[in-house]
């Protein structure tokens, strides 16, 4: 009798020791691919958020080669090379075009990869709509770009006394983020009867082109009082044009994206307002939701909006604000 008890006890002990090991072996280690939009400080900051969250959750991370310039012609070949190699369960990507990325991403999704778009989206970004060719990503995680553009218009209007001509330097109408910023800015300025948006230029994310286009706008309309630069390269190019034209102080400038260069220019008084997105948080949330979906099948919200912050000369040295400068 005693012998039988000790045999049962021994079997139980073995099961208790071995079961968790089997459990762990059964739990597959996940691998995610991160595909940024372009080589710039916004996406390198996002990568830091992605890396930290992957490390915390024990997810393998592959960071795709950064496209050298903005656009599907640069991004899609890189993406397809990684897709061909395979070996990832989830994809975090900033699509550089609302249309051109639909088919390449659908092909990856059809191979069983779950996708979250970060910063930019496909189509109109509403992934809950049935019967579309772009509703397969789990979620869009990024800024409310329309709201940001509108708020910038309102801030800029205050800075110029709600009257005068303003100009907008943008990148590419095919990028959901920047297109929405321009739309919000246009609608925001339209609220002020004594203000006029005299031009919107698209530099295709080339800083030198942004500088030339802004200079041309300043020569055409000599009474421009405000400028909005809608992302890193368009803003930095537009700001340089104002410096070169000797118009610092005479023109109020709002710049999107808190790069070190933009923050330094704010401190020097070249620009007046900087909108800081939260790229690190976008990346971190992207990893977290992919992980939760793949491990627990939780329902992922179709849109997650981390929000943004405004830097002005009054808060630029505030210790609490330093975390929002891109790294």
**Which residues of the chain form contacts with ligand T6T (CB under 6 A)?**
37, 40, 42-43, 119-120, 175, 177-178, 231-233, 256-257, 277
184 token code pair: 């919000």
In whole angstroms, the minimum distance from the beta carbon of 164 to ligand T6T comes to: 26
Question: Minimum Å distance from CB 121 to ligand T6T?
Answer: 10
Q: Helices 279-296 and 41-57, interaxial angle, to 10°?
A: 30
Tell me whether residue 142 or residue 188 sits nearer to ligand T6T (CB atom).
142
Q: Residue 93: name the closest of 142, 34, 141 by CA.
A: 34
CB 231 within 8 A of CB 41: no
User: Smaller CB distance to ligand T6T: residue 192 or 256?
Assistant: 256
What's the closest the beta carbon of residue 18 comes to ligand T6T, in angstroms?
Answer: 50
Q: Which is nearer to ligand T6T, 177 or 213 (CB)?
A: 177
Q: How far is the CB of 282 from ligand T6T (least distance, A)?
A: 9
Tokens of residue 279, six digits: 């790229």
Nearer to ligand T6T, 179 or 195 (CB): 179
Other Cβ atoms closer than 10 A to 20: 9
How many beta carbons lie within 10 A of that of residue 82, not counting itself? 17
Q: How far apart are CB 38 and ligand T6T at their closest, in Å?
A: 6
- Altogether, the residues listed in the chain come to a count of 327
| Cα–Cα distance measured from residue 80 to residue 176, given in angstroms and rounded to the nearest whole number | 21
> Considering beta carbons, is residue 120 or 240 the nearer one to ligand T6T?
120
In whole angstroms, how close is the CB of 114 to ligand T6T at the nearest point? 22
Nearer to ligand T6T, 97 or 177 (CB): 177
Q: Closer CB to ligand T6T, residue 91 or residue 274? A: 274
Please, which residue, 317 or 323, has the CB nearer to ligand T6T?
Answer: 323
The least distance separating ligand T6T from the CB of residue 231, rounded to whole angstroms, comes to: 4
Task: Please identify which residue in the block is written with the tokens 């005479």.
Answer: 250
Beta bridge partners of 310: 275
CB of 277 to ligand T6T, least distance (A): 6
Which ranges of 86-175 does DSSP label H, i.e. alpha helix?
102-110, 145-159
For the chain, the maximum distance between any two Cα atoms, rounded to a whole number of angstroms, is 103
Helices (H), ranges, the chain: 2-26, 41-57, 72-85, 102-110, 145-159, 176-190, 207-220, 232-244, 260-268, 279-296
- The structure tokens 């030339």 sit at 212
């Amino acid at each position: 009798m005693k012998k039988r008890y000790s045999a049962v006890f021994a079997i139980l002990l073995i099961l208790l020791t071995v079961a968790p090991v089997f459990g762990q072996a059964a739990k597959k280690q996940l691998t995610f691919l991160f595909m940024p939009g372009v080589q710039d400080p916004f996406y390198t900051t996002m990568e830091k958020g992605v890396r930290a969250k992957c490390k915390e959750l024990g997810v393998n991370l592959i960071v795709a080669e950064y496209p050298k310039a903005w656009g599907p012609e640069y991004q899609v070949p890189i993406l397809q090379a990684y897709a061909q190699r395979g070996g990832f369960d989830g994809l975090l990507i900033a699509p550089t075009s609302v249309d051109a990325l639909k088919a390449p991403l659908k092909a990856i999704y059809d191979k069983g990869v779950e996708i979250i778009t970060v910063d930019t989206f496909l189509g109109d970004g509403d992934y809950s709509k049935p019967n579309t060719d772009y509703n397969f990503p789990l979620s869009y995680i990024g800024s409310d770009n329309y709201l940001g553009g509108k708020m910038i218009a309102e801030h800029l209007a205050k800075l110029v006394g709600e009257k005068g001509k303003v100009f907008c330097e943008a990148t590419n109408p095919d990028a959901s983020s920047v297109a929405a910023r321009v739309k919000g800015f246009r609608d925001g300025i339209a609220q002020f009867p004594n203000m006029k948006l005299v031009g919107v230029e698209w530099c295709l994310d080339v800083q030198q082109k942004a500088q030339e286009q802004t200079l041309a706008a300043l020569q055409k309309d000599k009474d421009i009082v405000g400028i909005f630069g809608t992302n890193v390269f368009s803003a930095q190019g537009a700001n340089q044009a104002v410096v070169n034209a000797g118009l610092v102080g005479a023109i109020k400038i709002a710049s999107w994206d808190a790069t070190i260069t933009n923050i330094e220019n704010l401190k020097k008084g070249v620009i007046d307002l900087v909108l800081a997105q939260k790229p690190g948080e976008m990346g971190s949330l992207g990893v977290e939701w992919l992980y939760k979906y793949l491990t627990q099948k939780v329902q992922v919200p179709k849109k997650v909006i981390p929000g943004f912050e405004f830097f002005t000369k009054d808060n630029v040295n505030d210790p609490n604000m330093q975390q929002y400068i891109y790294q």
